Structure 1
Amino acid sequence: MPGEGSPIPIIDFKRWLKAESPKKKEQIAQELADACCRVGFAYIINHGVRDDLVQEAFAWSRKLFDLPMEEKMLAPHPPGPYIHRGYSQPGLEKVSQYVHKDGADPNAEDEELRRVQDYKESYEIGSEDFPDQPNVWLPETVLPGFREFMLRFYWQCFETAKELLRAITMGLGLSREDAESLILRRHTGLNNQLRLLHYPPIPREKLLSIEVARMPAHSDWGSITMLFQDECGGLQVEDPNKPGIFLDAEPIEGALVLNVGDLLMRWSNDTLKSTLHRVTLPPAQGGKAGEITPARYSIPYFVSPDPEVVVECLIPDEPAKYPPVVWEDYRRLRAKLMYPEGETAGTSG
């Protein structure tokens, strides 16, 4: 059974949502915070996002990616790395853990990282009320109802995200009042990102020989990520006790995968762990020559604070391990190599 023997705990979040006393809430909060401290990941079951909505989101995602390329390209990702919306074709985005350093040559680094392309396509969606990141929608005639559903799903996910943040911060020892003031008031939902991802079928040998990648090892930049994944598998998480060793995070029916992002790690002064993870071959793949990997679909929901929020240590009486940073500055630093400057989704092979 998926999850057995895995270091990633399974948390039944219904106990938080239906708790009748503060003590019961504290118990589940401590379990969740402990998972975020030890592993940085947890399976969340009974999370509050209705299963029929999740299944509908996957159905829309398949409809989207089944469209002809010329129709998907009616909503192209804007040029450059800083507005992250719309459709990206395979090979355009490059995920990495690289962060620019003073004196580094960004063009040379970009060229080296892009030598191995990420073989995936994606569609990015945000709030309609955030002008800094305007949505790029397909014409309604191409996919009627898509926009309306995705915006509804976006805000439904945020309701669950707020409860997860409340639980994690309570588990860290913050009072509900402090959690609301220090964390939740900084997260209005306007700056989150809903991402539809499709990994097309590909010969197994191309991934093994590193001709292409699905998604290389990286940490997420924001506060938390909620991931819905199909039954295919392929997500791997770095072993918390063995750096460089990655363990399968196999799908569990009805569960979302929660992981801590860089900002929550900084806020908690490294108490919470922003863990490296990647997408590679599904664990059930055999070793037959010429084998083709199955298509994989996943839907991550990235939860981030508002752009002007300053992220700094919230743990009292501890020397801060990181200097304060404005979220928008950190986001731009991490995004710099994802999309080449001046390049749009229609100009990358």
Structure 2
Amino acid sequence: MDSVQCPIPVVDFSAWSNGSSEDKKRLAQELTEACRQVGFVYIINHGVPSDALGEAFSWSKKLFDLPEEKKMLAPHPPGPTVHRGYSWPGLEKVSQDIIKDGEEAKEADNRKIADVKESYEIGSEESKTQPNVWLPEEVLPGFREFTMQFYWKCFEAAKEVLRALAIGVGLEDEDFFLRFHSGENNQLRLLHYPPVETEKLSSNTVARMPAHSDWGTITMLFQDDCGGLQVEHPNRPGHFVDATPMKNAMVMNVGDLLMRWSNDFLKSTLHRVTLPPAEDKQQIDGRLMTRPRYSIPYFVSPDPQAVIECLAVCTDEKHPIKYEPVVQEDYRRMRARGQYAEAPAAPIAVS
């Protein structure tokens, strides 16, 4: 599948907070049009302070620089039910496939090509369904305090995006989506892609993160300067567009539940992390390797018992209802079934 060029729109959100009603309508329309056509958009002046972003990436590097035995003091719980704590390379397998009970053979086949990445998942301390798994404070002093502050900073920015999308799809109440999002079911994810041989990636011996859509309402992604993220071309299925890093920009994309809410008016687009551009590769001991890559996605999801059903403003005779109502927790469990096996995988070598 080739990478082809297609611009991902850029929306400047600076006029949102203090702008006129006309400014808000204009930005809402720009944002919604990007989500309708591509499903991905760069947002600049998004409200998450640049110094907080810099500190978040600094903490992420400190975390992943820890020895394996230290990171394993906060292991991701077995199975797909609770998605928190440290996931070592080879534990998670991202896929677009839905794995159902009794499909162990399909699950095993899905895991033949391992994902070479490690991550740490953090949520609200108030969540009863997704309790956090923390490192002991003495292992990384200050990490817990900072990441919880950053988690809620991100949600403040997310609320404004949700308000803009409500206006953009034609809802009279800009707080409509906020009634389903307390912030307690979101997820802050710190991601590290260690260096890996480019030949292994290009030959599909290993993967970084295969093509998939996100499960929730929206995702807000902050990435470092190392490329590799790609988005499926809106008009050419199977062809992918580079989402080139843009300093301090947020890459925002539509999730499956927002696509269902909008009756497919907004697009939950496949995306992947694969081989970076040539400038993001390096020679190590005579082998061509990727540079390490760090990214921080913030997944915005409805509360667990929220019912997502197609909005009346997104349905008419030409656009009949495509989806039955679904409960967030039911949809999450269905999508998570194949991502984390009941029996945890052993760590894999990353070079």
Category of TM-score, reference length = shorter chain: over 0.9
Matches within 5 A, 1:194-273: 194-273=188-267
Which stretch of the first structure deviates more once superposed, 283-292 or 311-320?
283-292
Counterpart for residue 64 of structure 2 = 65
Counterpart for residue 18 of structure 2 = 18
Q: Supply the AA of the counterpart residue of 2:79.
A: G
Which 4+ residue blocks in structure 1 deviate beyond 2 angstroms? 284-290, 315-319
Counterpart for residue 339 of structure 2 = 338
Q: Deviations over 1:50-100 (max 9, x none)?
A: 000000000000000000000000000001011000001000000000013
Q: Supply the AA of the counterpart residue of 2:35.
A: C
Q: Supply the AA of the counterpart residue of 2:136.
A: P
Q: Distance in 2 between matches of 1:11 and 1:187?
A: 23
Q: Distance in 1 between matches of 2:169 and 2:22?
A: 15
Q: Supply the AA of the counterpart residue of 1:273.
A: K
Matches within 5 A, 1:81-120: 81-100=80-99, 105-120=102-117
Q: Does 1:302 align with 2:299?
A: yes
Counterpart for residue 121 of structure 2 = 124
The CA RMSD over aligned residues, in Å, is 1.5
Give the secondary-structure state (helix, strand or coil) at the position aligned to 1:206: helix
| Contact 1:64–1:143 (CA under 8 A) maintained in structure 2 | yes
| Contact 1:267–1:315 (CA under 8 A) maintained in structure 2 | no
Q: CA deviation at 1:180?
A: 1.7
| Contact 2:282–2:289 (CA under 8 A) maintained in structure 1 | no
| Contact 1:232–1:294 (CA under 8 A) maintained in structure 2 | yes
Q: Does 1:160 align with 2:157?
A: yes
Q: Supply the AA of the counterpart residue of 1:112.
A: D
Counterpart for residue 7 of structure 1 = 7
| Contact 1:76–1:344 (CA under 8 A) maintained in structure 2 | no
TM-score scaled by length of structure 1: 0.94
Counterpart for residue 329 of structure 1 = 330
Q: Distance in 2 between matches of 1:14 and 1:284?
A: 34
Q: Distance in 1 between matches of 2:312 and 2:190?
A: 35
Q: Deviations over 1:131-168 (max 9, x none)?
A: 21110000000000000000000000000000001001
| Contact 1:225–1:261 (CA under 8 A) maintained in structure 2 | yes
Q: Distance in 2 between matches of 1:266 and 1:324?
A: 9
Q: Distance in 1 between matches of 2:147 and 2:184?
A: 14
Q: Distance in 1 between matches of 2:130 and 2:344?
A: 15
Give the secondary-structure state (helix, strand or coil) at the position aligned to 1:259: strand
Q: CA deviation at 1:249?
A: 0.3
Give the secondary-structure state (helix, strand or coil) at the position aligned to 1:118: coil
Count of residues in correspondence between the two structures: 337
Counterpart for residue 315 of structure 1 = 312
| Contact 2:184–2:303 (CA under 8 A) maintained in structure 1 | yes
Q: Which runs of 5+ in 2 are unaligned?
A: none
| Contact 1:77–1:136 (CA under 8 A) maintained in structure 2 | yes
Amino-acid identity (%): 64
Q: Deviations over 1:171-225 (max 9, x none)?
A: 11111x2x423x1110000000000000000111010111100000000000000
Q: Distance in 1 between matches of 2:273 and 2:347?
A: 22
Q: CA deviation at 1:315?
A: 3.0
